[in-house]
Structures are given as C-alpha cells and as structure tokens.
Structure 1
Amino acid sequence: MSAIIEVSHVSKSFGGVKANEDISLTVEKGSITGLIGPNGSGKTTLFNSIVGYHPIDSGSIRFEGREISKLLVPEIARLGLLRTFQQTRIYGKMNCVENMLISIPHRKMTLLEAFRRNTPEERERAEHLLHFVGLYEKRWLQAGSLSFGQQKLLEFAMALMNEPTVLLLDEPTAGINPTLINGLIDRLKHANREFGITLFIIEHNMRVIMNMADRIYCLAHGRLLAEGTPEEIQNDQRVIDAYLGAH
C-alpha cells in the first residue's frame, strides 16, 4: 500500500497552548487507521487541520501527493477527503432522504433549487445508502426524530453520498447504544472493503479500534507518543501508562 495522507512535522497552537507539536504520521491507501489518546491530546485538532478547518503553524499535510495545508475546506472536500464529527451535523427538520440530497457539495444552494435539480440517480443512490446503514424504513422521518445513534448513521450515509476517497471519523461509536455498535462496525468495514474508502478513525472504545484498525497512532499532550499494530500498541508501556491503563 502507498500513503494517501502524509502529515509531516505538523504543529498547531491556539494562543499559548500547543495543541499539536511536531506530529508526523501516514495513512495508507485502503487502510483503516486509528488515532487514540487521552482527552485533550490533540486528536480532533489534527483532524481539523487535515480537512482544512484551521491553518497549521508549521509542517506539511499531503493528500495523494498534493500539499493541501493551505487549501480551504470545500477545496479539500472536492478532492475526496471528508470528515464526520462527535456531534452530528444533520438537518433536523428535513427527512433522511432530503438530508442525503442536500449533503452533495453542488447542492449548497437554496433548498428549493436543491430539490428542483436533484436527479433520479441521486435519489436512488440516497435510498440505497440509507438501506446500507439500516435507515431505509425511516427515510421519510424527520432526522431530528431519530435517536442519536441513528443520526450518526445518517451522517455516515451523508458522507458516503459524496463518494469520498478518505473518510475521517471522530468517535463514530460515542453515544451509540451498544446494540447498534456491532452493526456500525460491520458497515464501516464494508465501506472500507467494498467501496474502497480509506478510514482514519478517532475512537475511545478500545475494543472497537483494536478490532478494526490496521495501524494505530497514539497522541499524548499534543505529541505523537507511539505507533504500531493494535497488538504493539496494547503492549506499549508508554501507551498503557498514558492512556490504556484507564480503559
């Protein structure tokens, strides 16, 4: 496999607080890569830097060999690099199908224009993906009426609607009923295996990430603490002391 994301010596500060300091890591194309660490270790800041939510102070971020650290969020999204959030970003007053259609980048227009211009193929794809995440029977319900776990599944489907090359997921299982977690894991693996989507995942559920990831990076205090296979990370004393001992 070859690297699809290359983060090299990236640093980012907010005022006097160093959120990320000299971080280097790679995400291999077609892989499932994990990012773990205590709260406040800089994981979400790194995700935000990769997708363009704030400029880095120094270093380099490359996507498919192209420097992207100076690009804006929409430009990076059009390249096929998307992310989800800890708190879902859905349109609560719209039904699930409408959420899927409005999530397409070229749909960032008035709602009336959006639904005049969507194609039968897009509607078919929206319903197919809602079936894939297990929300087909709820496709006409307002998204705000769904449980938090179902809203996360909807946000996942909305991201898939854009046919991403790489999807960054920020704590995808947080707040989800344990009975739904295994189903979500299966769908993430399917998206990786069958759709060819590279996944980069922040996750606090160690059972989940250890069973999913090909490689895991651990941050602590804004710096890269360790990297390796799930087995190597579980047996790394530095990771145990800084993080895994509390899990």
Structure 2
Amino acid sequence: MSLLVVRDLGKSFGGLTAVDEVSFSIRPGELLALIGPNGAGKTTTFNMINGQLRADRGSAQLSGHELLGLAPRDIWRLGVGRTFQIAETFGSFTALENVQMALLSHQRRLFSFLKPARAFAQARAQELLEQVGMAQQGERACSELAYGDVKRVELAMALANEPKLLLMDEPTAGMAPEERHALMALTKRLVLEQNIAVLFTEHSMDVVFAFADRVIVLARGRLIAQGTPAEVRANRQVQEVYFGTGATFHADWGGGQ
C-alpha cells in the first residue's frame, strides 16, 4: 500500500512550466530516487510536497492527508522529515543541541530563562545521534565537524519527528565517494529498520543505482520514465536526455548531471 501518492502535480512560473502533470507513489520501506538533468523540476517537486512552494494544481496525499496547501511545520508534524542539499544545522550549537532543537519543534515545547532548553530530551537526542553513528561527537559544535558528519547530524534531526516519509534533497552533495556510500548505506538501514519511505534527488548515479529501489526520471518538468535502476539505466529516452543519442549508463559511472 502506498504511503505518499502524488497525482498530476503542476507548477508554472510565468510562461514556463516547471512541473507538468507529474504523478508517482512511494511505499513504506522504499527508497525512491527522483533524477533528471538540471532544470528538470526535481527541487520544485520537492518544495511543493514539503510546503515551501505552492502548487498550481494536483494532489499529494500522505496516508490520505492532503499535503498541498499546508505550511512546512504542519507537514513536519504529520510525519514528513526533510534534509537539504546544503546541510541546515546551527554551526555554533553542538550536535546534541541541534537534535534537541528538532525535538523541541516536534513536541511544540517553549522554554524560558528559568526553564532552559538544554535539559530537554537529552537521552532521546543522544539516541538519535547513536542511530546515525554520531554518539561520540555530541558535544562538538557542528562548525567543528567534517561535512560528512554534519550531514549525519542533519539526518538525526530529520528523524526527530519519527517520520513516515523522509525527503532528502541531494543528500550526498559535496561528499567524497566513500562518504556518499556510507551515508546512503546508513539511510538504507534506517529505512528498513523503521519502515520509512524515502524520496531523494541525487546527481551521483553511482548512489542512485546502488541504493534506490525504484527511480523516476524528470525532463523539462515531465515524468519520462520510471522503474527499477536497471530498467531506467536501459531506457533509451533516459540515455538520450542525459548523454545524447546512443550513449549508455555504465555500472561504474559516478559523475554528475
């Protein structure tokens, strides 16, 4: 049974149609990659589902609840986590404090000078850091961490609302190949353990073909192909969109778009 069902999603900017009648679904425990050349409409699609951008038409339902028209904070509280292409953490805060802030948001807690937030949910925040392999780095400021570790902290923050659906926009951007695969292997493990659905965009085809269960491909705002990684790799139209007529994906190809 599908967790997220997107139907006929559309968005235009003036005379430019950025997303044109896009439909797809995703099941719990599934990693679905959304790929396409620059300007294909991937981020626009993400931002409409997450409430950062208002859709012109269509529907996006999470377990029967319509997401379109809701504010990002309301979508977050329905069980949708989000990570960003450029990690969004507070650099001066420790890793533990960043996760505590996410927990505060999820539980709608307010704190004052007489009731500081630092004491809130430390055990749960530490548990989330442990899930992403950052338990030993909790007291370090995010500004002091390697970028790959910051992305792990961001993932822990995204898990703070116990999401049903996790949206990951370019999760491995700026990371070395080894770091990319380590982060996505971690994500895959968490998906299976917690039965989370993940929709992610990605420029690195090595990551897509190694970790996605299914792939959907956008070009000029339209969905042109979907299927398993092997099916998409062999799709002639996808090959032409990426490389021109006659080119093919190679199993070891790891470049960007």
TM-score when scaled to structure 2?
A: 0.88
State the match for 2:79 in structure 1.
Answer: 80
- Contact preservation (8 Å) 1:107, 1:114: no
Cα distance in 1, alignment partners of residues 95 and 112 from structure 2:
14
Residue by residue over 1:164-198, the C-alpha shift from the partner in whole angstroms, topping out at 9 and shown as x without a partner, is: 11101111111112232232122111111111111
TM-score when scaled to structure 1?
A: 0.92
Residue by residue over 1:31-54, the C-alpha shift from the partner in whole angstroms, topping out at 9 and shown as x without a partner, is: 111111011111011011011111
State the match for 1:43 in structure 2.
Answer: 42
State the match for 2:102 in structure 1.
Answer: 103
Alignment CA distance shift 1:107-1:89 (3 Å): farther
State the match for 2:14 in structure 1.
Answer: 15
Residue by residue over 1:225-245, the C-alpha shift from the partner in whole angstroms, topping out at 9 and shown as x without a partner, is: 111111110000000110265
State the match for 2:190 in structure 1.
Answer: 191
User: Structure 1 runs of 4+ off > 4 angstroms?
Assistant: 107-114, 244-247
**Structure 1 range deviating more: 18-27 or 175-184:** 175-184
Cα distance in 2, alignment partners of residues 13 and 117 from structure 1:
46
- Contact preservation (8 Å) 2:81, 2:159: no
State the match for 2:67 in structure 1.
Answer: 68
Cα distance in 2, alignment partners of residues 111 and 95 from structure 1:
20
Cα distance in 2, alignment partners of residues 203 and 54 from structure 1:
20
Q: Give the secondary-structure state (helix, strand or coil) at the position aligned to 1:233.
A: helix
Q: How far does residue 218 in structure 1 lie from its aligned partner after superposition? A: 0.2
Q: Give the secondary-structure state (helix, strand or coil) at the position aligned to 1:161.
A: coil
| Count of matched residue positions in the alignment of Structure 1 and Structure 2 | 243
Paired residues for 1:160-175 under 5 Å: 160-175=159-174
Alignment CA distance shift 1:235-1:218 (3 Å): same
The one-letter code sitting in structure 2 at the alignment partner of 1:125 is R
Cα distance in 2, alignment partners of residues 17 and 117 from structure 1:
50
Q: How far does residue 61 in structure 1 lie from its aligned partner after superposition? A: 1.2
Cα distance in 2, alignment partners of residues 41 and 69 from structure 1:
21
Q: How far does residue 154 in structure 1 lie from its aligned partner after superposition? A: 0.8
What stretches of structure 2 of length at least 5 have no aligned partner?
Answer: 250-254
State the match for 2:252 in structure 1.
Answer: none
State the match for 1:129 in structure 2.
Answer: 128
The one-letter code sitting in structure 1 at the alignment partner of 2:143 is G
Alignment CA distance shift 1:111-1:156 (3 Å): farther
Cα distance in 2, alignment partners of residues 62 and 54 from structure 1:
16
Q: Give the secondary-structure state (helix, strand or coil) at the position aligned to 1:172.
A: coil
Q: Give the secondary-structure state (helix, strand or coil) at the position aligned to 1:194.
A: helix
Q: Give the secondary-structure state (helix, strand or coil) at the position aligned to 1:35.
A: strand
The one-letter code sitting in structure 2 at the alignment partner of 1:18 is T
Residue by residue over 1:69-88, the C-alpha shift from the partner in whole angstroms, topping out at 9 and shown as x without a partner, is: 12111111111012111011
Q: How far does residue 144 in structure 1 lie from its aligned partner after superposition? A: 1.4
- Contact preservation (8 Å) 2:185, 2:211: no
What stretches of structure 1 of length at least 5 have no aligned partner?
Answer: none
Residue 32 (1) aligns with residue 34 (2): no
Alignment CA distance shift 1:230-1:116 (3 Å): closer
Cα distance in 2, alignment partners of residues 148 and 54 from structure 1:
28
What is the aligned-residue RMSD (CA, Å)? 1.8
- Contact preservation (8 Å) 1:84, 1:159: yes
- Contact preservation (8 Å) 1:216, 1:228: yes
Alignment CA distance shift 1:114-1:241 (3 Å): farther
